[in-house]
Amino acid sequence: MPKDQKNVHAGHRERMRKKYLRIGIEGFEEHEILEMLLFCCFAQKDTNELAHVLIKTFGSINGVLAASIDELKAVDGIGDVSAFRLKLIGDIVARGQIGEDKRPVLNNSDKISAYAKPFFASSKTEMVLAISLDQKLRVMRTTKIHEGSFDSVSLPIAKIVRNLVASGAAAVVIAHNHPFGLSFPSMQDIRATEKLKAALESVGIMFVDHVVFGIDDCVSFRDSGDNLYALAQ
């Protein structure tokens, strides 16, 4: 391939990469998404035309990724290596979709308690967890965000908010423990929770619940409602 043609393709790929990083996948047509995917299969080749051919052949990008290796290799321009890579990507996507169905849904305090309690089983110090959830309240990840007392002085609220925004969380459950005491929240717990809830909701993250675990039981802020302050006294 002539040097100037290589430079044209390199510049095009870099522009698409920067566009993707700037605005995400929503800014691309289906054939452009597949075109970028094909960058992984071809170091220099212009993949735009091949992406159009694949979409026309299989109907959609999902059809391409669901095709067998033999079906892919029947398309002019797709060889052993590119067929293998496309098939592997399709299988990874399919496996991920199966995993989505198995993720816990934390839509009530019983489910939250059952999910979070094992994280505190061997903890001898106060620990704060943030359970990131998607829009369907399915668990995305669980992160230890603080070790120590749950109060608005020591809790790194700005850092917590930045981390949850970066994780793509649509909602969050906070859980922390009183390793040698009762599960009743303190006034410091309540004030810090109110501050954290306001900070998260200001950036569009729904605050689902805060659950405090004691030695033998737990208390849900959401379930406690108006009785929360009475519990803390």
Whether 149 contacts 127, CB under 8 Å: no
Q: What is the pLDDT along the chain (233 residues), one digit of tens a residue?
A: 454 545 545 688 888 888 888 888 888 888 888 988 888 888 767 788 899 999 899 988 888 888 889 999 999 989 998 899 999 988 888 776 665 567 889 999 999 999 999 988 878 888 899 999 999 999 989 988 888 878 766 788 898 899 888 888 999 999 999 888 788 888 888 899 999 999 999 999 999 999 999 888 899 999 988 776 666 64
DSSP tag of 138: B
Whether 37 contacts 45, CB under 8 Å: no
Direct distance between the N- and C-terminal alpha carbons of the chain, in angstroms, rounded to an integer: 77
- SS3 breakdown of the chain: % helix, strand, coil, rounded to 5? 55, 15, 30
Q: Is 109-232 a domain of CATH 3.40.140.10?
A: yes
Q: What residue spans define the domains of the chain?
A: 3-102, 109-232
Q: Residue for token digits 């399709």?
A: 90
Phi, psi of 75, deg, nearest 5: -85, 130
55 CB-near residues (< 8 Å, 6+ apart): 30, 31, 34, 61, 63, 64
Q: At what angle do helices 48-58 and 30-38 cross, to 10 degrees?
A: 120
Q: Cα–Cα distance between 73 and 23 in angstroms, integer? A: 33
Q: Cα–Cα distance between 137 and 111 in angstroms, integer? A: 11
Q: Cα–Cα distance between 180 and 213 in angstroms, integer? A: 10
